[in-house]
């Protein structure tokens, strides 16, 4: 019976077609490899954008919680720059910012509005790599990254990483032998 189950599993896998997640990840890593970079996974818990950015801020100065709060505060302080871009269903700007901040327990996934807010609030350039679009650069007016170092914060945007939908991961230099690369919950 066990052999029959394994045969059925193998047939299912064979008939599933291409693994979109694996293909997307391979394409992103191939794109990053020319700059000696690779994808570093972060947990898929609704905070992936913020965790990916926190992962690249040295000294653990920020966590996903503090970055959510920073994005919401910056958006509130610059309402005229952000409110016009909310969907019709999100016409209550303050409620949207509360969800960004996770103040009411309802998590809103981060996207381009939050990336723009964090880029400006942190004064850093951010680059988002995507297999279906050119590299998106936000905050190009900022030449520094975290704590005065040159270079942008880099993220990858995945459409097929998880069944629930889109996902962001962090980008790091390709590790040398012995370095740890994997999912981390401490950001």
Report the catalytic residues.
Answer: 45, 48, 167
> Rounded to whole angstroms, how far apart are CA atoms 54 and 186?
10
- What are the tokens at 152? 């942008």
Check if the beta carbon of residue 120 is closer than 8 Å to that of residue 139: yes
Which residue in the block uniquely carries the two structure tokens 């996934």? 109
> Rounded to whole angstroms, how far apart are CA atoms 97 and 73?
8
> Rounded to whole angstroms, how far apart are CA atoms 99 and 90?
11
**φ/ψ (deg, to 5) at 126:** -125, 140
- What are the tokens at 181? 């690369």
């Amino acid at each position: 019976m066990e052999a029959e189950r394994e045969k059925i599993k193998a047939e299912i896998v064979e008939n599933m077609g291409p693994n979109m997640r694996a293909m997307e990840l391979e394409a992103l890593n191939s794109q990053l490899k020319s700059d000696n970079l690779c994808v570093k996974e972060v947990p898929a818990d609704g905070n992936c954008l913020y965790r990916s950015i926190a992962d690249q801020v040295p000294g653990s100065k920020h966590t996903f919680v503090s970055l959510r709060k920073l994005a919401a505060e910056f958006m509130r302080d610059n309402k005229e720059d952000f409110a016009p871009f909310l969907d019709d269903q999100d016409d209550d700007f303050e409620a949207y910012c509360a969800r960004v901040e996770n103040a009411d327990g309802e998590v809103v996934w981060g996207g381009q509005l939050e990336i723009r807010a964090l880029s400006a609030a942190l004064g850093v350039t951010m680059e988002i790599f995507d297999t279906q679009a050119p590299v998106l650069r936000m905050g190009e007016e900022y030449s520094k990254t975290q704590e005065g170092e040159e270079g942008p914060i880099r993220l990858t945007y995945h459409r097929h990483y998880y069944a629930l939908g889109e996902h962001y991961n962090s980008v790091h230099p390709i590790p040398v032998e012995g370095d740890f690369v994997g999912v981390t919950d401490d950001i």
